[in-house]
């Protein structure tokens, strides 16, 4: 007596649903999906403890609060994808903040804006040249930059806030303006993130950055000018860090020589690692970094609303960074130090 086995056909509803789920996971990514779930859980938990979390004003506050650290996270992502790291982003932001305010007092908003971006680019190029021509590891070159740029900012400002931009229409719009009811800072962050995403995913420059981070020897043999890309990415990081410094000036109304440089640097690295960027380079997406920035913003805002001691915010960020790196290393099958796999 024969038994007939009924096999599912490609048109069966179960197979169709499975393919839809698989396709969605491929598009969104497991890493991004886990971040989305984490954000949703945080929103529900914090909102259940304090209903003011859901107020439009508070949601906009989260958006504006993460703009500066988010901009730095975006370019830090590019740097890590290329196989490097930039510890000087916060110090560059502090330097350009104070210099933009000082230039503004002498030459107006347009010159101060362009001048601050140029100073940021110069700082980035200096770091890139130290890596390329001084043969310094990116971590050491930018660690030197972290201290040097911070010191220069303190020297030129005598360690005090400089200038006053609180009455200038341009800086008022940058810091507190809105478009279609949404703060301009959020629009600016979205615009920069989208531009960098397009560059990484759809241009030859982006493909070459991934190639350099994935295998610099193979990239060099394929004809990619690695030195040019290293200096170019450092310059990009410097320009965006300069923009972040201008936004600090716009939000505070004056130039801030020491504007949380180490905190901004740490948050940018945490967002990149949490977003799934491979710390060895060659892998990462802007979508993951964007979700990580949102997650950190929701977490810090929620802790403030719930009256958690501010010092615990640093503890939470440190634990998040450690957990993100451990998960990434285990997923990649990294060998434990001193032990067999």
Helices first, then strands: H and E counts in the chain = 15, 2
> Distance (Å, rounded) from C-alpha 22 to C-alpha 123?
45
Paired residues of 162 in beta bridges: 255
**pLDDT value at position 137?**
92
Paired residues of 208 in beta bridges: none
Q: What percent of the chain has pLDDT over 70?
A: 87
User: How many folded domains does the chain comprise?
Assistant: 1
How does residue 4 score in pLDDT terms, banded at 50, 70 and 90? low
Average pLDDT, the chain: 85
How does residue 17 score in pLDDT terms, banded at 50, 70 and 90? low
List, as one string, the DSSP characters of 141-152. HHHHHHHHHHHH
Q: Is residue 44 part of a domain?
A: no
For 8, phi then psi, to 5°, come to: -65, 140
Structure tokens given for 171: 């800086």
pLDDT at 114 over 80: yes
Q: Is residue 322 part of a domain?
A: yes
Structure tokens given for 55: 């107020």
- Least confident window among 26-30, 43-47, 96-100: 26-30
Structure tokens given for 162: 């400089």
pLDDT at 341 over 70: no
Q: Is residue 213 part of a domain?
A: yes
Q: Is residue 337 part of a domain?
A: no
pLDDT in tens, 212-260: 988 888 989 888 999 999 999 999 999 999 999 999 999 888 888 876 6
DSSP 4: -
> Distance (Å, rounded) from C-alpha 157 to C-alpha 173?
25
Structure tokens given for 277: 């960027």
Contact residues for 42 (Cβ-Cβ < 8 A; gap 6+): 295, 298, 299, 302
Predicted TM-score (pTM) of this structure: 0.85
**pLDDT value at position 276?**
84
DSSP 53: G
pLDDT in tens, 53-109: 888 888 888 888 889 999 999 999 999 999 999 999 999 999 999 999 999 988 888
**pLDDT value at position 309?**
82
Q: Is residue 258 part of a domain?
A: yes
State which residues form the domain around 106: 50-328
CB 33 within 8 A of CB 27: no
CATH of the domain at 170: 1.10.3470
Q: Is residue 25 part of a domain?
A: no
Report the alpha-carbon angle 300-306-308, nearest 5: 70
Q: Is residue 37 part of a domain?
A: no
Which whole-number Å values give the CA distances from 89 to 79, 143, 228, 262, in the listed order? Answer: 11, 10, 20, 9
Q: Is residue 8 part of a domain?
A: no
pLDDT in tens, 122-175: 999 999 999 999 999 999 999 999 999 999 998 988 878 888 877 888 989 988
Among candidates 133, 137, 286, which has minimal Cα distance to 209?
286
Angle between helices 67-81 and 204-214 (to 10 degrees): 70
């Amino acid at each position: 007596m024969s038994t007939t086995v009924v096999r599912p056909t490609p048109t069966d509803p179960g197979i169709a649903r499975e393919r839809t789920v698989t396709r969605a996971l491929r598009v969104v990514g497991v890493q991004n999906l886990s971040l989305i779930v984490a954000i949703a859980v945080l929103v529900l938990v914090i909102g259940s403890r304090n209903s003011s979390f859901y107020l439009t004003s508070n949601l906009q506050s989260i958006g504006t609060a993460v703009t500066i650290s988010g901009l730095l996270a975006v370019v830090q992502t590019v740097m890590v994808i290329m196989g490097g790291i930039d510890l000087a982003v916060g110090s560059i932001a502090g330097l350009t903040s104070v210099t933009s305010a000082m230039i503004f007092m002498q030459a107006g908003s347009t010159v101060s804006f362009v001048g601050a971006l140029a100073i940021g680019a110069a700082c980035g190029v200096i770091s890139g040249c130290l890596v390329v021509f001084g043969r310094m590891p990116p971590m050491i070159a930018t660690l030197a930059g972290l201290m040097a740029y911070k010191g220069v900012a303190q020297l030129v400002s005598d360690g005090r806030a400089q200038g006053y931009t609180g009455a200038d229409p341009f800086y008022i719009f940058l810091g507190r303006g809105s478009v279609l009811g949404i703060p301009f800072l959020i629009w600016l962050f979205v615009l920069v993130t989208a531009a960098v995403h397009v560059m990484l995913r759809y241009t030859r420059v982006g493909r070459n950055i991934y190639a350099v981070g994935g295998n610099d020897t193979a990239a060099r043999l394929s004809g990619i000018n690695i030195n040019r890309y290293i200096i170019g990415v450092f310059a990009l990081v410097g320009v965006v860090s300069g923009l972040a410094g201008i936004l600090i000036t716009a939000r505070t109304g004056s130039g801030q020589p020491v504007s949380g440089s180490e905190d901004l640097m740490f948050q940018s690295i945490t967002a990149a690692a949490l977003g799934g960027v491979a710390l060895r380079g060659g892998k990462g997406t802007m979508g993951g970094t964007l979700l990580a920035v949102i997650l950190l913003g929701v977490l810090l805002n929620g802790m403030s609303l719930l009256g958690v001691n501010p010092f615990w915010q640093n503890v939470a960020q440190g634990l998040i960074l450690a957990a993100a790196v451990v998960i990434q290393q285990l997923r990649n099958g990294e060998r434990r130090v001193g032990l067999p796999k």
